[in-house]
């Protein structure tokens, strides 16, 4: 299959690079000294693109690749790819669902426990020598006992989180674009309504224009002064300015965040707060899971270019294409 030429838009894990280089003629956009000249030369020959959230793969880029057939995205979220443009121009977009579901759900429950039980703060207390000097860490005001968790976006990962929450004895409710059949959890048609009914709001929502800042000041007020926000989905879903204000003024009790609006930048106001747990976007960050994700990127490209079609096309670019 060396007759096919593939473009990589940015840094990719060795597993992906090695396999693509062994099968195809590989071009690395990030190494081009003159991007425009590079695309003018190789663009018409590109049949597939491997990309990730670190690079915007939009219509402006894809239009320089008139013969591209597939964009394989590393990650379940693909808001950095203009899937709408791709669908309108006959280009299929794939992502990496399922293989990271359990890892992200595990991370979410760890983040939830760290936030509600102040485990990060209590560890810092111990490491600072305060246990011996000042006595036991103060009793935490919050607990998981008797709480209701509201999940925003009950997809694959949301359902895996819900299952784990049930095992912890939590009541689960959810909000999404529509009510799902066969789901044993109560559905709330509005996010504000679900926030009012929840003690803990967990966001698994993807990024993009449709979800931008949907967790805003009104939602945080509805969550209330004992409420906790956990975001394991995309940082752009939360209005960070409103969140900082809510945390500083005790509109909500705390937050656990694995994602941020302008990664890798984290607002210093969040870093300064003890009642906030911050992780550097590590939801799926194990060798085991990232290798599975990388392999799925490769497998999607190989399957498509061999004429078998994509393995995991996204909703905007179904396969076979709708006529």
Residues labelled as active-site residues: 234, 263, 281
The token pair at 119 is 């485990």
The burial class, CB within 10 Å (0-12 / 13-18 / 19+), for 110 is middle
HSE (side-chain half, CA atoms, 13 Å) at 163: 11
- Tell me if 174 sits within 8 A of 162, measured CB to CB: yes
Closest residue by Cα to residue 105 from 74, 73, 151: 151
Length of the chain: 323
Strands (E), the chain: 5-8, 25-28, 46-52, 70-74, 92-94, 148-152, 171-175, 186-187, 200-203, 228-231, 254-257, 276-278
Q: What are phi and psi for residue 228, nearest 5 degrees?
A: -130, 135
- Tell me if 157 sits within 8 A of 76, measured CB to CB: yes
**Three-point CA angle 293, 176, 94, nearest 5°:** 25
134-to-117, 119, 137, 138, 302 alpha-carbon distances in Å: 19, 18, 8, 10, 61
Strand partners, 174: 151, 187
Query: Distance (Å, rounded) from C-alpha 96 to C-alpha 278?
Result: 25
HSE (side-chain half, CA atoms, 13 Å) at 119: 12
């Amino acid at each position: 299959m060396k007759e096919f030429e593939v473009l990589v838009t940015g840094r990719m894990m060795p597993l992906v690079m090695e396999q693509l280089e062994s099968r195809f003629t590989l071009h690395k956009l990030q190494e081009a000294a003159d991007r425009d000249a590079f695309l003018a030369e190789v663009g018409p020959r590109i049949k597939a693109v491997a990309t990730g959230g670190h690079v915007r793969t939009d219509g402006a880029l894809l239009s320089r690749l008139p013969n591209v057939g597939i964009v394989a995205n590393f990650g379940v979220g693909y808001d950095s790819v203009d899937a709408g443009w791709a669908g309108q121009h006959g280009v299929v977009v794939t992502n990496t669902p399922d293989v990271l579901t359990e890892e992200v759900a595990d991370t979410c429950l760890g983040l939830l426990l760290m936030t509600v039980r102040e485990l990060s703060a209590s560890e810092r207390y111990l490491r600072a020598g305060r246990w011996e000097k000042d006595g036991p860490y103060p009793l935490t005001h919050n607990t998981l006992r008797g709480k209701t968790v509201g999940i925003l976006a009950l997809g694959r990962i949301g359902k895996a989180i819900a299952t784990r929450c049930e095992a912890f004895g939590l009541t689960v409710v959810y909000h999404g674009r529509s009510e799902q059949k066969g789901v044993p959890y109560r559905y709330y048609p509005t996010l504000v309504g679900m926030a009012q009914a929840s003690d803990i709001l967990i966001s698994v929502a993807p990024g993009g224009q449709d979800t931008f800042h949907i967790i805003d000041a009104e939602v945080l007020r509805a969550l209330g002064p004992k409420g906790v926000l956990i975001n394991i989905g995309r940082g752009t879903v939360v209005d960070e300015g409103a969140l900082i204000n809510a945390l500083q003024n005790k509109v909500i009790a705390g937050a656990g965040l694995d994602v941020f609006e302008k990664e890798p930048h984290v607002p210093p106001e969040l870093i300064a707060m003890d009642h906030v747990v911050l992780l550097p976007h590590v939801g799926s960050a194990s060798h085991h899971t990232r290798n599975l994700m990388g392999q799925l990127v490769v497998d999607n490209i190989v399957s498509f270019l061999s004429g078998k079609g994509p393995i995991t096309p996204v909703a905007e670019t179904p396969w076979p294409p709708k006529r």
